[in-house]
Amino acid sequence: MQAIVKEKRAPGLTVKSVPKPAPGPGEVLIAVRHAGVCGTDLHIADWDPWAQSRIKPPIVVGHEFAGEIQGLGDGVTGLRVGQLVTAEGHIVCGHCLQCRTGNSHICKNTRIIGVDRDGAFAEYIVMPTTNVLTLSGIPTEVGAIMDPMGNAFHTVLTAEIPGSTVFVVGCGPIGCFAVGIARAAGATKVIASDVNPKRLALAEKMGAHVVINAAKEDVVQTVVAETDGEGADVVCEMSGVPSALHQAFASVRLGGRVQLLGIPKGEVPINFADEIIFKGITVYGVIGRRMYQTWHQMRRFLIGGQFDPRPVITHKFPLAKIDEALAVIRSGDAGKVILEIV
């Protein structure tokens, strides 16, 4: 089968033919139809310090996908050949303290497809049935981005949204999803900031009531003015940019909540007293998707038609054009970029 492979401990990705995998006991074979390309894949392609410490080539990359079940391993029940599915890409141990207390998203033994084992930028992938979710009418191009969309659902829905003012900091694909989810979940005002006008236009398309160009406007002043002088009830920090992190804490109201998803490149100095403690706020770190609460909520929002992520998909490429896909992500102007496998 054709696959995108990290072959060597050096920059670059290779499109090549590799053996088709076979499903073991409790696993299914999935023919991939669509796959999402994301920042993680860029880190692996560029062979940055994180990739050097984590990735053991050769490995098939890619972790966001949807496709059709084409084979069942021994003992598989409840799924059948021909079903359209996606999957949680974090494969967890099931026996650590976190897994046994309903917090598998922070399992200490997590193995991620396309990072720690063969991934989804291929014609076929094998997945444990525990991780597989049926699409039930959700198109595969949407199913393929339920992993990053799930991060946005996790970020937004672990805060109290109905009747709230929500400020989304950073309008990359996950930030734009968060805008639409906050609207769908009943936020009364959604404010979004970024420095890129194309991304702000996408956020507007996803339902932001107010967009702030952080390169030109005073972010904190605008948020405070738009929230009756209080600050936002909920702030979702999706950028990881140090200046934006400080804006997130300065924009949240007293007693509000800051959801942190964006990952800063290095250490960020913070004034704990003024930015967190004296404001009496709650800070929540978002990693992955709650298994499987986030997935069930997301499926219902999508199947019920409350939320449609498709305006955020701006580019589609065939598998062989992975370098072009990475280039548009690098440009900073793209929304979500997906690969069409079949």
Q: Which of 169, 179, 206, 200 is nearest to 332 (CA)?
A: 200
Choice between 211 and 338, CB closer to Zn ion: 338
Q: Which of 88, 121, 119 is nearest to 3 (CA)?
A: 121
Catalytic residue among 14, 34, 40, 130: 40
Q: Which residue do the tokens 């194309």 mark?
A: 198
x/- map, 63-92, Zn ion, by CB under 5 A: -----------------------------x
Is 107 a binding residue for Zn ion by CB under 5 A? The answer is yes
Based on the residue annotation, tell me whether 40 is a catalytic residue of this protein: yes
Determine the size of the site formed for Zn ion (CB under 5 A).
8
Q: Which of 42, 96, 250, 328 binds Zn ion (CB under 5 A)?
A: 96
Torsion of CA 272, 276, 280, 281, to 10 degrees: -150
x/- map, 16-45, Zn ion, by CB under 5 A: ----------------------x-x-----
Any residues with CB less than 8 A from the CB of 249 and at least 6 apart, and which?
235, 258, 270, 275, 276, 279, 281
Choice between 51 and 252, CB closer to Zn ion: 51
CB of 148 to Zn ion, least distance (A): 5
Is 99 a binding residue for Zn ion by CB under 5 A? The answer is yes
Q: Which of 15, 31, 42, 93 binds Zn ion (CB under 5 A)?
A: 93
Is 192 a binding residue for Zn ion by CB under 5 A? The answer is no
CB of 62 to Zn ion, least distance (A): 9
Q: What is the DSSP string of 19-75?
A: PPP---TTEEEEEEEEEEE-HHHHHHHHT-HHHHHH--SSEE---EEEEEEEEE-TT
Q: Where are the beta strands (DSSP E) in 195-335?
A: 210-213, 232-237, 252-260, 282-285, 313-318
Catalytic residue among 14, 34, 43, 95: 43
Q: What angle do CA 177, 181, 185 make, to 5 degrees?
A: 175
Based on the residue annotation, tell me whether 43 is a catalytic residue of this protein: yes
Catalog residues that contact Zn ion under the rule CB under 5 A: 38, 40, 92-93, 96, 99, 107, 109
- Which residues carry out catalysis? 40, 43
